[in-house]
């Protein structure tokens, strides 16, 4: 299809329809959606009750400005969210996606400190992280390739380490790695000036930048302790990990963390509405009072709230959080078995239905491939030919080198479909070895 869409290149198939975990194009080709787009479609494609809730709200009243009216659906959504969010006395600010949620949380952090008479403006992010492509969120992100063209517009945030268990640089790993990362965080805070640091932003399980690297168990308690000691707000970016993706309602739960601010997106609207959420604890909210100078035309959207509420109830009523935990464990086990002998598979990791497969040139040293080989791109294309959609996470080894794909299917995936995903990905990887074998050798 050629046209006037500012698109991502020629040759994309044209989508026709989707149901559950399956997407069909206009040529009738069927794809198993092992990535839910970009780990978005939590409740699955084509869920009638979500569509109906959105349509019904749009018919009743689609839009009023969020500063002029509230709506019953928005109040109900915020109440039901508060029951599942790992944030004390949670106050939700709904926006139109993950990047907007992160921007909003950053402004909340700044507003919180200003309200307390503190001029804190520095935000600490982590290397290889991804928090969005708008300039504030990109500044906090650590992904070198995404930052490169925009460096003149970035530079207010600073970055600390992020755990990569399979590449851990610390002696004596794994004992005490969390403490080592916490030391590095503290050094970063001290270098920036502890009275200038407003917030630390991190994903509970690293997503697009590191393809589902799970931190060691002592990581989060240690970094949170450092933040608390220096009055730095803890911002958990749960845009990818939230709403059941990692087998608990939110990734923070597994880490025993109650953040001051939390961001969500993706599964929140499950693709039926571009929904993001910035959430503040009651204490942060009350301190800010009327001090948040901020707003978007489409924040607090009634149709967005109706969609989010229907998704939330669907997740709850079908116990999709437990399903994510169980199917995720199955996916991890089957992938590890199937790929155990593959010479290019360096690591298979994840939590719940958020699983990463990393490719390396050398399994013993974990040396990444030359990025010029574009192996991630070729694997994604090869999988698509076999009717499997996976999400690319190139640059996962050191920001510029490293190949991986991220799996994050709808949480409704069945055991048989999980087995089929593993079979197709295994075949795509075997084919890659055959077609790229010579090129792949260093
Ligand atoms: N934070 C994280 C952790 C993400 O994974 C993403 C999207 N991949 C974002 C923020 C940005 O979200 P969006 O693309 O909806 O703006």
Nearest-CA residue for atom 12 of ligand 1:
98
Testing ligand 1's pocket by substitution, the residue of 208, 213, 396 carrying the most ligand atoms inside 8 A of its CB is 208
Best CA proximity match to 439, nearest among 359, 343, 345, 361: 361
The pLDDT confidence band at residue 47, using thresholds 50, 70 and 90, is very high
Cβ atoms within 10 Å of 344's Cβ, excluding its own:
22
**Whether the CB of 353 sits within 6 Å of ligand 1:** no
Residue 249: what pLDDT? 98
pLDDT digits (tens, 9 = 90+) for 177-232: 999 999 999 999 999 999 999 999 999 999 999 999 999 999 999 999 999 999 99
Closest atom, ligand 1, to C-alpha of 129: 3
* 6 CB-contact burial (10 Å; exposed 0-12 / middle 13-18 / buried 19+): exposed
Distance from the alpha carbon of residue 210 to the mean position of ligand 1, in angstroms = 13
How confident is residue 3, by pLDDT bands cut at 50, 70 and 90? confident
High-pLDDT (> 90) share of the chain, %: 91
pLDDT of res. 6: 81
For 83-135, what is each residue's pLDDT tens digit?
Answer: 999 999 999 999 999 999 999 999 999 999 999 999 999 999 999 999 999 99
ipTM above 0.90, yes or no: yes
Please provide residue 314's backbone torsions phi and psi, each rounded to the nearest 5 degrees.
-65, -45
Residue in this structure with the two tokens 């916490």, named with its chain if needed: 182
In this model, does residue 166 exceed pLDDT 60? yes
Delineate the domains of the chain, giving CATH numbers in brackets: 15-46+319-440 (3.90.1150.10), 48-317 (3.40.640.10)
DSSP character string of 332-356:
HHHHHHHTTT-TTEEEEEEETTEEE
- Taken as a whole, the chain contains a residue count of 442
Determine if ligand 1 sits within 6 Å of the CB of residue 99: yes
* pLDDT, tens digit (0-9, with 9 covering 90-100), for 370-390: 999 999 999 999 999 999 999
pLDDT at position 442 is 45
Question: What is the model's pLDDT at position 4?
Answer: 84
């Amino acid at each position: 299809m050629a046209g006037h869409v500012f698109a991502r290149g020629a040759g994309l198939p044209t989508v026709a329809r989707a149901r559950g975990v399956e997407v069909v194009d206009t040529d009738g080709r069927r794809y198993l959606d092992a990535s839910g787009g970009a780990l978005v479609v939590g409740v699955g494609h084509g869920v009638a009750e979500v569509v109906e809730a959105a349509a019904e709200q749009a018919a009743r009243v689609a839009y009023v400005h969020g500063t002029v009216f509230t709506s019953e659906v928005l109040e109900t959504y915020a109440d039901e969210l508060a029951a599942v969010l790992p944030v004390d006395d949670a106050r939700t600010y709904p926006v139109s996606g993950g990047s907007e949620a992160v921007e909003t949380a950053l402004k909340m952090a700044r507003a919180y400190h200003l309200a307390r008479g503190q001029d804190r403006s520095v935000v600490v992010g982590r290397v290889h992280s991804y928090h969005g492509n708008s300039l504030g969120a990109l500044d906090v992100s650590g992904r070198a390739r995404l930052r490169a063209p925009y460096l003149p517009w970035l530079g207010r945030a600073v970055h600390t380490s992020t755990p990569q268990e399979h590449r851990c640089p610390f002696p004596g790993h794994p004992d005490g790695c969390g403490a080592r990362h916490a030391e590095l965080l503290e050094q970063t805070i001290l270098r920036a000036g502890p009275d200038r640091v407003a917030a630390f932003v991190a994903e509970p399980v690293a997503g697009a930048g590191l393809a589902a690297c799970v931190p060691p168990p002592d990581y989060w308690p240690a970094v949170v302790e450092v933040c608390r000691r220096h009055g730095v707000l803890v911002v958990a970016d749960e845009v990818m990990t939230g709403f059941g993706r990692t087998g608990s309602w939110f990734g923070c739960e597994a880490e025993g963390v109650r953040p001051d601010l939390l961001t969500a997106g993706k599964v929140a609207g499950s693709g039926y509405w571009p929904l993001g959420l910035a959430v503040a604890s009651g204490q942060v909210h009350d301190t800010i009072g009327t001090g948040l100078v901020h707003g978007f035309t489409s924040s607090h959207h009634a149709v967005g709230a109706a969609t989010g509420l229907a998704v939330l109830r669907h997740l709850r009523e079908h116990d999709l959080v437990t399903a994510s935990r169980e199917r995720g464990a199955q996916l991890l086990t089957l992938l590890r078995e199937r790929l155990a002998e593959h010479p290019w598979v360096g690591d298979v990791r994840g939590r719940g239905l958020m699983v990463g497969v990393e490719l390396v040139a050398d399994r013993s040293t974990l040396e990444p491939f030359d990025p010029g080989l574009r192996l991630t791109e070729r694997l994604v294309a090869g999988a698509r030919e076999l009717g499997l959609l996976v999400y690319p996470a190139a640059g996962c080894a050191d920001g510029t080198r490293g190949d991986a794909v991220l799996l994050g299917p709808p949480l409704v995936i069945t055991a048989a479909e999980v087995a089929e995903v593993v079979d197709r990905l295994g075949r795509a990887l075997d084919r890659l070895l055959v077609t790229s074998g010579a090129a792949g050798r260093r």
